[in-house]
Amino acid sequence: MDLEEFLVQTRLDVQEEIAERLGESGSPYPYEESVYAEIVMTHMAEIGMTFEPQVCHYTAKSGNANVKISGYSISEEADQIDLFVSLYSGTESVQSIPDSETKAAAEQCLRFLAKCAEGKLASAIDPANDAFELAMTIQKSYAKLDQIRIYVLTDAVAKSKSFKSRDIQGKTIKLEVMDIERLHRHWSEGKPRDELVVNFLDLAGGAIPCVYVPGESDYDYALTVIPGEALRFIYEKFGARLLEANVRSFLSATGKVNRGIRETLRSDPDRFMAYNNGIVIVADEAHLARADDGSPGLAWLKGMQIVNGGQTTASIYFTAKKHSGVDLTKVRVPAKVIILKSDDSAAEEAMIADISRYANSQNAVRQSDLSANTPFHVELEKLAATTYCPDGVGRWFYERAAGSYSTTLAREGATPARYRQLKSVVIPPSRKITKTDLAKYLNAWDGKPHLVSLGSQKNFTEFTAGLKDKEDSLLVLPDVRIFKHMVAKAILYRKVQALVRPMFPAFQGNVATYVIAALAHKYGDQIDLDRIWLQQDLSEALKEVVRTLAPQVNRALHESSNGRMVSEWAKKQECWELIRSSNFGSAVIEVPEVRRL
């Protein structure tokens, strides 16, 4: 699918989402720009570019200039924030957009940030608007923020994908553009890591010496040493997406291994290489050049990801950030670099997962902390491909590997007619479930809404750890019945989400998740999942129960937050314990999905 076709397909996706939301009773009109921004933000979260995003559209005049924001995301530790501003044209053909326009959009978002930091905007926003709590949060916590980024989201092709950083009240603000071209690379190639290009000629002043061993099969490899300052800069630039998805959860420098790393960096930086096991890197391409001493060296890597050593990398960055006296010029980090050569993307992803698993099995990281639970996900993929909906025509699609849905449509939709049939009847986007989706649906049902509120990646890590905590011999792989029940939980979650969305101006995702958990806690095994599978929908009676329960859950979340942003409070187990113990009333009606005991 070329860029032009991708733009057309993206517009169709936006229109389909709008049509679906228009069918939701009481839902406000879903503007194209808003839906497009939400789609892009969700994608960025799934690949680790940002945290759990919140849609938050706000435009206003401040003085003689405009302020605008389309969404935001805040890290779990509340020390990093990303702001998003959309620049949507709805064009039917690929158009270029000048830097002056993307810069102007970034300026509107910068103004929003600056006014919030100064404490001049919150008082001008209606407290019922979801931008109010964001403005208050920025006002209260601005001094504590370690990283601030602004992304311009556009459906045009931008000349520049990033701009020079700006400074607001002593904080550096990074400015990036996520345009349709960048989005196309992510989705069509299935390799968002392609953007991770590391140039050692710039970072280290020249190629870094290495022992390079060409392979005869599907990879080459190199052994090298990376300067600590270069590794710190790489992490500062790319953040968590530098880490392969399996190891993204190891960002908090609180474990024994990390304390040791910190102490070595502070007291014995010149012995870091002697004490540390190093890191393992995979890359799609490598370029060799002569190092200063004439030996072979690595000049740059494209598609670089760290599959082992996430703790080491993050600890170097955070230690240097929090302790100004740390001298990284004396730090050297041993590295094994594996350059992939396979043309089969599925085989390549499987190899990366294996490298990650085997590398991490040799250190203090538990196997149960890795997300490579292949048999479980492979079996679900098979079941989805062979289990038809009650109509005997359509199926649900389980996207085990990123991009496999698009690949399947392209492979099986050989003709335009077949492609349309697949996408509209057999496996429409509305019946696609990703791994992170599944983790969200099941953890919410299992009474873990606080984990779901952590965001898709961290929730998926917790979900996988829960699977792996069971011995492999005791882990029951899904069968057709289990698969249908999982889909029923997906239907329940999505329908609740659709019902909740128009009811509240903000934090609809948190409310929906807690409503699901409250329903499961109250009714449990009484809920007839087989009926939901057969109907592929909820009865009006159950929808009425949701409409009655949602305002009570929303009120409880706000009243118990004690001034904290609801989306942050919802991440705490204490929050779920309080909601779970609440005595919510419900409509006294017969609900077909609830069996009598």
User: Cα(449)–Cα(17) distance, rounded to whole angstroms?
Assistant: 25
pLDDT tops 90 at residue 301: yes
pLDDT tops 80 at residue 472: no
pLDDT tops 50 at residue 254: no
User: Cα(341)–Cα(420) distance, rounded to whole angstroms?
Assistant: 34
Strand bridging mode 147-154 / 80-87: parallel
pLDDT tops 90 at residue 22: no
The pLDDT value given to residue 103? 97
Rg of the chain (C-alpha set):
25
Per-residue pLDDT tens digits for 438-463? 999 999 999 999 999 988 878 888 88
Model confidence at 245, pLDDT cuts 50, 70, 90, reads low
If one compares 287 and 468, the residue with the highest pLDDT of the two is 287
Cβ pair 45, 241 in contact under 8 A: no
Which residue is listed with tokens 């001008």? 124
The pLDDT value given to residue 62? 83
Looking at every residue in the chain, the average pLDDT score rounds to 86
Among 452, 439, 586, which Cα is nearest to 523's? 586
The alpha carbon torsion through 109, 112, 113, 114 (nearest 10 deg) reads 120
The pLDDT value given to residue 359? 67
Counting residues of the chain whose pLDDT is more than 70, the rounded percentage is: 89
Q: How many Å from the N-terminal Cα to the C-terminal Cα in the chain? A: 53
If one compares 48 and 551, the residue with the highest pLDDT of the two is 551
The pLDDT value given to residue 168? 96
CA angle centred on 270, ends 269 and 274, rounded to 5°: 100
Q: Which residues of 174-202 are buried (b: 16+ CB within 10 A; e: fewer)?
A: bbbbbbbbbbbbbbbebbbbebbebebee
The pLDDT value given to residue 106? 97
- Specify burial of residue 593 (Cβ count, 10 A radius: 0-12, 13-18, 19+): buried
pLDDT tops 80 at residue 97: yes
List phi, psi (to 5°) of 9. Answer: -65, -40
User: Cα(513)–Cα(440) distance, rounded to whole angstroms?
Assistant: 8
Average pLDDT, stretch 359-383? Answer: 62
pLDDT tops 50 at residue 368: no
Counting residues of the chain whose pLDDT is more than 90, the rounded percentage is: 55
Per-residue pLDDT tens digits for 490-548? 999 999 999 998 898 788 999 999 999 999 999 988 999 999 999 999 999 999 999 99
Average pLDDT, stretch 255-283? Answer: 84
Domain ranges of the chain: 3-189, 192-369, 374-580
Model confidence at 192, pLDDT cuts 50, 70, 90, reads low
pLDDT tops 60 at residue 371: no
